[in-house]
Structure 1
Amino acid sequence: MATARPATRPTIPTLTSSCRPTSSCATRAASRTDVLYNLVSIQEFLARHLGDREAIVWRDRVLTYADVARRSRRVGRALRRLGLGCRRERADLQPWESGQDHVAILAYNCPEWIELMYGAWKARAAFLNVNYRYKAEEMVHLLGTGEARAIVYHAAFAPLVAEVRRDLPLLRHLIQLPDDSGNALLPGAIDFEAWLAAESDEPLDLLYTPDDLYIIFTGGTTGMPKGVLWRHEDVYFNGLGGHIPGFERLDTEEKLLAHLSSGLGGRFLVAPPFMHGAGQWAAFNTFHRGGTVILPDETRRLDAHVLWRAVERHRVDQMTIVGDAFARPMLEALREGRYDVSSVRVIGSTAAVFSAGIKRELAALLPEGAMFIESVGATEAGLQAMSWDAAAGPGGQSAYQLRDNSVVLSDDSRRFLAPGTAEVGWLATKGHLPLGYLGDPERTRATFPVIDGVRYCLDGDRARFADDGRLVFLGRESMCINTGGEKVYAEEVERVVKSHPAVYDVLVVGTPSPRWGQQVTAVVSLRPGAALPTIADLRAHCAPHLADYKIPRAVLDAPEIVRSPSGKPDYAWAAEHARAFGGSHA
């Protein structure tokens, strides 16, 4: 049962009919109309110049850039009619505060996701991404801390919404998206299409500012999800295509128009769910290059055959996935050899380990010259580093090129580490960064410190430099295992264990050890017909690539490694599984 929240309703500031910018950067943008610093302004610009070009393709539906603009305007007007929008401007707020109303989205991938994101911004509200795997208590926590005043949800989730709404006094508006679940409209809820049909698709008479918020909740890999507050200007230049490495900043209409003519947009298959950043950022980057977002027919679960059918049918040339969680089943499906993948030239991956061995096997089945691009980043840091390596040696790690906004700091955060040093440090990012975490001043101050007069994001990721000066990403400090006084990073070990021929997937955790304090434990799922590797076998496999103390001292199997729909690992599950079932030990 969801935990009840107080039934009192807070006083709501009056919604202004036209929220005028009051901060210095907002005033600057208002006086320079050639500068694109708001995602609404960019979308409307795209609609004017690429009106009839395909923006989104899903099943038998095709939406042009003009269609997306018109339908998202209807969403914006409908939200304004509900009294939702901007209540306080950025200049009157602390970094961890939001002055905009929040609209939650609880839905599988579909074109309406895009319409709702843009539509919320066009009302000068902000959307909240909601994990559709959450149970009632988790949902109450996210929607409560996120201060959601409205929720748009697929009918399949109507029973869950009905369960949690009584514990969320701020949640006043329910908008239901049709699907094939057969669930009836909840009492007091609004049908999405009827809601839109009542509104005009003319542009809203509002002034949008660089300070308008893009809010995205973290995946909650190591704890409860946190709402990250990005200004539009910052998220655009950091991770949504406003400043691509090797290209100039797209900060004027002229530059953006020239970029749209470059042909980089292509036909981009977005495989991860929009409820996480990987899917959202892939879509917006595609739009900002003038490309077409292709959604697979099946979006409620990962079906690798459906992905390859979409590639073949729509002549997809680029796609984004989330590491091995997507790549392994895609490799198995492609081995059957039934799909025409001759159009594929780029597969991008982010947010999870993408093993060198899987890249090599995929490369053998893709057109010659197809490229793998890996990116390192975080919800609260944005894009930090990239790799164009197709493969390394067996069990090898990808090495990344740092973006010019990122550095590696020493353990005490007092020194910048230089290429050529083997010291492990903190991956840090400066420049266009989020304001902070919604409602959490302490975590905001801790994650975004000012060092030598420069504001950085230290999200807890560890890294070191390789001999050639490139970055070796080690993973989150909170997932670090302390064994016998040595630090072991789970992702580093997982990359090597995954290359064992018997292993299909793996998570590495620390478990109690009377001798070592913690020992490195591998929870593995096996390939069909494979036997669980012995400790001796696993040690022999890992020894060429890992120091002795990093090699797992315990291994146990699981029918399946638990991950989120976006491929994020569930380390809490892995630790509990390891405690419950023990496993073979060294």
Structure 2
Amino acid sequence: MAHAFADLFEHAVDAMPDRVALIVSGEHVTFRELDERANRLAHHFKDAGFGFDAHVGIHMHNSIETMVAVLAAFKIRAVPVTVNYRYTVDELIYVYENSDLDALVYHRSYGEQVVGAVASVPRIRHVVVAPDEIASGDEPVVPEGIEYDDALADSSPTRDFAERSGDDVYILYTGGTTGRPKGVVWRQEDMWRVLGGGYDFYSGVPVADEYQQSRVGAASDMPMRMLILPPLIHTSALMPSFTFLFAGNTVLYVPAFDATKVWQVVAEEKPMVMVITGDAMGRPLIEAHAQLQLDTSSLAVVASGAALFSGSVKDAFFDQFPNLMISDSVGSSETGFGGIGFASKGTQQRGGPTIGSNRFTVVVDDDGNVLQPGSGAEGWLTKLGNVPIGYYKDPVKSAEIFRTVDGARAVVTGDRARVEADGSVTLLGRGNMVINTGGEKVFAEEVEAVVKAHGDVYDAIVIGMPDDRWGSRVTAVLQTRDHASIDFDSLEKHARNQLAGYKIPRSFWIVEQVMRAPSGKPDYRWAKEFAENNEPSHRIGLT
């Protein structure tokens, strides 16, 4: 029984070849067409000498060509390595070298960075340059790079590849916003189980067999459409794409996030579901929607993950979409899907979401003991069941979080959490983002949610800065709404109404734009460096 991603996709192709698989920038591609394009690129790589365990870098934004490249790698049992397209040349050289890339597919618009990085990584011996509607046409091209269209035109569209295995792997590099990126190595079957629909997300019950998703999809004559906005370099976009495709549904992308463009796509293509990454996408989306006169009535579900989705922004969605369902998922590169919670208007939220009880997500104390419902204790969010093999080429860091809990392999994350009386779990925030001020613990995400709910604030990152008296003081880097001035007295009053006094930011820095990773996660390293090198815009007293 094959539990490899290429096999699962091919089952959907065979069951529903003429359904639309992808829609990007008005182009509709059927399952058969997507499969044939992936077969052609797979044959191109195979003819170039690549196959099992070859590492293929995919340095691309959301597009049809990106999914073709990922599928092509899976088809020949190569290891796709998705690359953050916002990295500098130095960061790219590190990832290219650390991941042992043999080949690379990239969008032309990233030519300047890619050319500089590839020149320093001689192991990369084959490069494919994909067409790109974002590119200006003046970007440099890697010498001897093969044009994507030529690679497909010269290759076979047939499926005649070797048998695959669920033990084939995928390497996902983390964002590296608080340190060097790390490659998380997943067996494909484990990733399918926790992120690709191999388990029912709500009950935790495994699907009957490898054909169940395509069988259920073929039995329905009303396929769904999902608009996925996070970048495909992350599982928060790539895995929902596969989950939908395995069941014969249609996935939509936009090449670059633009709130107005997103709503135009919703009005034109009528997706039922939209996937976002918290406030980073949610806030500009809902503010743009209020200014537009478009038919967006098809939208029934907004699913968020990978970043904070604060209660105030959720409420703004409910104001404009009263019947909307909003879900908030917990997970990471190291855990996969950890649980899901559902929002309702007016819900008081402190930090992250509360997810329903499930047998694969628990909270453990510092000694690795599972905390029981009703204990009221805080601990570390932990994932049981199908988990990654570890970090690529990093046994030391692997040993830090990939441990044994209750006699089974588990991932003990850096997220602080609390188990509730009913067994549900409330995510409190990243453990390394806890600010210890005068012996009190402050979770950055809780303060960020409150600060961003103020009318003058568009975005915020909360950090701890050294303080002679308190050890650390809570501070914030802010982006104001429309780059206008901010009423700090009003902001302080707003914060004091919702936070204990020791949680209120004492220093503020105003910036043109708060920096975030493509996933929408705050770039805490950038915020800390900015605060260290600039005088605060405002200070308040320690009363």
TM-score, length of structure 2 as denominator length: 0.94
**1:465, 1:471 within 8 Å by CA — same for their partners in 2?**
yes
1:353 aligns with 2:319: no
Could you say which residue in structure 2 is the equivalent of 1:268? 226
What is the 5 A alignment of 1:216-235? 216-235=172-191
**1:345, 1:370 within 8 Å by CA — same for their partners in 2?**
yes
SS at match of 2:387: coil
* Structure 1 spans left out of the alignment, 5+ residues: 1-28, 30-35, 87-99
CA distance in 2 between counterparts of 1:392 and 1:467 reads 22
**1:449, 1:455 within 8 Å by CA — same for their partners in 2?**
yes
SS at match of 1:581: coil
Could you say which residue in structure 2 is the equivalent of 1:277? 235
What is the 5 A alignment of 1:462-541? 462-466=416-420, 469-528=423-482, 531-534=485-488, 537-541=490-494
C-alpha displacement at 1:237, in angstroms? 0.5
SS at match of 1:412: coil
CA distance in 2 between counterparts of 1:363 and 1:245 reads 24
Could you say which residue in structure 2 is the equivalent of 1:75? 41
1:255 aligns with 2:212: yes
Q: Which amino acid letter does the alignment assign opposite residue 360 of structure 1?
A: D
Match of 1:154 among 100, 103, 107: 107
CA distance in 2 between counterparts of 1:270 and 1:557 reads 31
SS at match of 2:309: coil
Q: Which amino acid letter does the alignment assign opposite residue 221 of structure 1?
A: T
Could you say which residue in structure 2 is the equivalent of 1:558? 511
CA distance in 1 between counterparts of 2:360 and 2:404 reads 15
SS at match of 1:282: helix
1:442 aligns with 2:371: no
**1:230, 1:434 within 8 Å by CA — same for their partners in 2?**
yes
* Structure 2 spans left out of the alignment, 5+ residues: none
**1:395, 1:498 within 8 Å by CA — same for their partners in 2?**
no
**1:346, 1:370 within 8 Å by CA — same for their partners in 2?**
yes
CA distance in 1 between counterparts of 2:5 and 2:473 reads 47
SS at match of 1:460: strand
Count residues with an aligned counterpart. 533
Q: Which amino acid letter does the alignment assign opposite residue 75 of structure 2?
A: K
CA distance in 1 between counterparts of 2:487 and 2:390 reads 45
CA distance in 2 between counterparts of 1:584 and 1:551 reads 11
What is the 5 A alignment of 1:106-505? 106-179=59-132, 180-182=135-137, 183=139, 185-246=141-202, 248-253=205-210, 255-260=212-217, 261=219, 266-296=224-254, 299-300=255-256, 302-366=257-321, 368-393=322-347, 396=350, 398-413=353-368, 415-466=369-420, 469-505=423-459
CA distance in 2 between counterparts of 1:372 and 1:393 reads 12
CA distance in 2 between counterparts of 1:262 and 1:559 reads 49
CA distance in 2 between counterparts of 1:143 and 1:294 reads 29
Q: Over aligned residue pairs, what C-alpha RMSD do you find? A: 1.9
1:49 aligns with 2:15: yes
**2:362, 2:425 within 8 Å by CA — same for their partners in 1?**
no
Distance 1:253 1:227, change over 3 A: closer
C-alpha displacement at 1:184, in angstroms? 5.9
CA distance in 1 between counterparts of 2:504 and 2:424 reads 24
SS at match of 1:127: strand
C-alpha displacement at 1:449, in angstroms? 0.7
CA distance in 2 between counterparts of 1:545 and 1:265 reads 44
Distance 1:555 1:417, change over 3 A: same
Distance 1:281 1:238, change over 3 A: same
**1:386, 1:402 within 8 Å by CA — same for their partners in 2?**
no
CA distance in 2 between counterparts of 1:319 and 1:529 reads 28
* Percent sequence identity over aligned pairs: 35
CA distance in 2 between counterparts of 1:533 and 1:452 reads 52
